[in-house]
A = this chain, B = another copy of it.
């Protein structure tokens, strides 16, 4: 089933690249969290193509509407969201939710699509349609017996990550309120270029508990390079070089891979089941399983393989771990240190340059993409999705740990005379 996270906090999604909309249901948020649509919208705006000059020129406004799972007694404020209307003989209109408290019931959100005509996809239609190298076209055609939405990658499109960001946004609001947890990400590689300065290193200098103003400073740095050159990273020199490289590569009709670092700050300790559903296992899967990802590492990652134990074991002092090569997880359980992960993305599969490929009937062709423009470097906007997926898994792990603590006082209804 199309679920991220779970079994307690989970996100279900549906919706294709060029379909009418993306539909999301978020399960398991405890009651009583104050949720404002604009907070979630702000994260969605970061995910959106066109939010960066390096993204695809296709414009999507990705306006989120909430239809279920919120409440407050002030109904006017509750339903101050945009109105959703249905035409026809029996027209209907419903004012959607703008802000309210979560009730513990499933929260539903709809993001309508404004993608235009599907004419650009004529090239891929039917049993003799072309197959794009690096895409799911061929395997999904055969897997589905030909019943696949061919428009823009269908369900396999990056557009599906709208659900990740909505679900992750709710988790972020919850964890922020309960623990002051914040999730940030920084691009650390674009093609052959690597950042000198990493977010993990910057955070390590600040100690285990990061203050609000420190978070603001980090965010400002990330927003700065995003606004200036369209690449959120704390290494401004790298950002400039990477932006140039992306521009040249786009002109050359080619694309670039990327590496993105994602960090959780002020993460509560002791969350995460060990072994088969450890938070490490879950994060490796959720982050490394994202579209176009081909590698994932936690903490110091692949580098630890080259070390000796005496170098790698993080010493422990009475106030905490003296280092964070473990990346915030030991035995799949949070230590309270920053959660650190890095994900390597392959270059965008859609490129303008001609390639060897086949039609769906396996006849060989020289393939050239007829229409459509695409992100030359998907990693540039993957950060908010990685943050969202990390938040979803941490949220679920937090609730799992809460379930270990049964307080009889939470089960009282009528007074008991004793």
Contact = CB atoms under 8 A, between A and B. Distances in A.
B357 A316 contact: yes
A155 B106 CA distance: 9
B144 A31 contact: yes
A188 to B, nearest CB: 10
Contacts of A307: 191, 256-257, 346-347
Interface residues of A, number: 190
A308 B254 contact: yes
Interface in A251-298: 254-259, 268-271, 274-278, 280-282, 284-290, 293-298
Contacts of A268: 408, 411
Interface string A131-157: 101111011101111111110001110
Interface string A310-345: 111111111110100011001111111000000011
B294 A304 contact: yes
Interface stretch (A47-55, A87-95, A224-232): A87-95
Contact of A14 (B108, B259, B406, B414): B108
B139 A413 contact: yes
Contacts of A66: 20
B355 A289 contact: no
Contacts of A143: 31, 104, 270, 333, 401, 404
B140 A75 contact: no
Given A257-B304, A410-B402, A333 B294 contact: no
Nearest to A92: B112
A147 B101 contact: yes
A154 B105 contact: yes
A67 B313 contact: no
Interface in A75-117: 75, 79, 82-88, 90, 92-97, 101-108, 110, 112-114
A386 interface: no
A399 B405 CA distance: 8
A146 to B, nearest CB: 8
A350 B309 CA distance: 8
Contacts of A148: 31, 71, 103-104
A363 interface: yes
Contacts of A401: 143, 410-411
Contacts of A290: 281
Contacts of A298: 288, 294-295
Interface in A1-26: 1-4, 6-8, 10, 12-16, 19-23, 25
A383 interface: no
A411 to B, nearest CB: 4
A149 to B, nearest CB: 4
Contact of A155 (B103, B277, B406, B408): B103
A374 B374 CA distance: 52
Nearest to A292: B304
A103 B149 contact: yes
Contact of A351 (B113, B299, B313): B313
Contacts of A183: none
A228 B258 CA distance: 41
A76 to B, nearest CB: 11
Contacts of A294: 297-302, 304-305, 327
Given A23-B68, A105-B154, A335-B413, 16 more contacts: A1-B276, A3-B277, A14-B105, A21-B67, A31-B144, A104-B147, A104-B148, A136-B330, A269-B413, A270-B410, A280-B288, A281-B286, A282-B289, A294-B300, A309-B353, A402-B405
Q: Closest 10 A-B residue pairs measured CB to CB?
A: A281-B289, A285-B285, A136-B331, A284-B288, A255-B309, A7-B7, A268-B411, A295-B297, A23-B108, A14-B106
